[in-house]
Homo-oligomer: A and B are copies of this chain.
Amino acid sequence: MQLKPDCLVCLFNQAQRVTKVLECDETCAKDVLDTAALEIAKFDFTLTPPEAAAILYPKISKLLHKEDLYKEAKTESIQKAKKLLPFAKEQIRKSSDPLDAALRAAVVGNVIDFATQYGFDLEEEIKKIFHIPFAIDDKRAFSQRLCKASSLLVIGDNTAEHLFDKIMIEVFKEHCSHLDIYYFVRGKPIINDVTMDEALEAGLDKVCTVVDSGVDTPGFCLERASNEAKAIFDNVDLILSKGMGNFECLDGVKDPRLFFLFKIKCDVVAKRVGKQVGDLVCIQGDTI
């Protein structure tokens, strides 16, 4: 998916968000925004939004002398997520369709950074997710393929979301015991995306093979992946791509092995998939 004009404004707003999260003073905030503005003016429509972000964020990191801009924010979101895990597990346990419930738990993870704007309504929001219909719903097609698959690749997205992905993977393993599962993390810190550090800390390596994808964009850009990651991507029977960043990068890959699972968080993606901001979707890759 290529960059749209609205993405430029979103990126500038993201730069502002960095200055808020890091509580920059006015001079520092202006430096960040000036740097962002000059970078944004250079972007063109050949880039995907995550590729543009991967140009912008390192410039901000350099300016602020802070490699992992969202380190503290990620730690905080992990703490918040941990409180919600028992609820998600309970929903899966009670469900008559555990694979469907597991995918919903993984969407709960994806909704977290979106839902923070709702503040204390987050729990209420998440309760709904185990019951509401998906705007595009290929979950059943995914589950059917999962039962026949020997290998699955899950492409991780945000930190905190990975804790819910772990729950999902545990359910998958319980129901499909011979399944080899791989989990891709980003090759370096970019925004609040999950990296090897957070994955290992959460013990994801105990339930699947965690792989450093080598990718430095906040979305799995296949061309930037390590040879190992590319080989896994090419050879697994099934791929579950989590979150909007990965969708923006892999949208062009028309592959029936590939399923996108995310909550729609912006107008540009909403328009692309023909649904609304806030909708949940599970989309098979060759149908979009």
Contact = CB atoms under 8 A, between A and B. Distances in A.
Interface of A: 4-6, 8-9, 12-13, 16, 19, 24, 26, 29-30, 32-34, 37-38, 40-41, 44-45
Given A34-B41, A37-B37, A41-B34, A9 B13 contact: yes
A29 B12 contact: no
21 contacts: A4-B26, A5-B19, A5-B29, A5-B30, A5-B33, A8-B33, A8-B34, A9-B12, A9-B16, A9-B33, A12-B12, A12-B37, A13-B13, A26-B45, A30-B44, A34-B40, A37-B40, A37-B41, A38-B38, A38-B41, A41-B41
> Among the interface residues A9, A37, A38, which one has the most CB atoms of the partner chain B within 10 A?
A37
Nearest to A31: B5
Nearest to A41: B37
A19 B4 CA distance: 12
A12 B16 CA distance: 11
A154 B170 CA distance: 69
Contact of A16 (B5, B16, B37, B44): B5
A81 to B, nearest CB: 28
A117 to B, nearest CB: 15
A137 B8 CA distance: 40
Nearest to A13: B9
A38 B41 CA distance: 6
What is the total number of copies of this protein in its complex?
A: 2
A9 B20 CA distance: 12
Contacts of A26: 4-5, 45
Interface of A is mostly: helix
A215 to B, nearest CB: 26
Contacts of A6: 16
Given A9-B13, A34-B40, 5 more contacts: A5-B26, A8-B37, A30-B44, A33-B40, A38-B38
A29 B26 CA distance: 29
A271 to B, nearest CB: 12
A24 B30 CA distance: 29
Contacts of A30: 5, 8, 44-45
Contacts of A24: 5
Contacts of A32: 5
A4 B19 CA distance: 12
Contacts of A45: 26, 30
A105 B9 CA distance: 35
Contacts of A33: 5, 8-9, 40-41
8 closest cross-chain pairs (CB), A and B? A5-B29, A37-B41, A37-B37, A34-B41, A9-B16, A8-B33, A37-B40, A12-B12
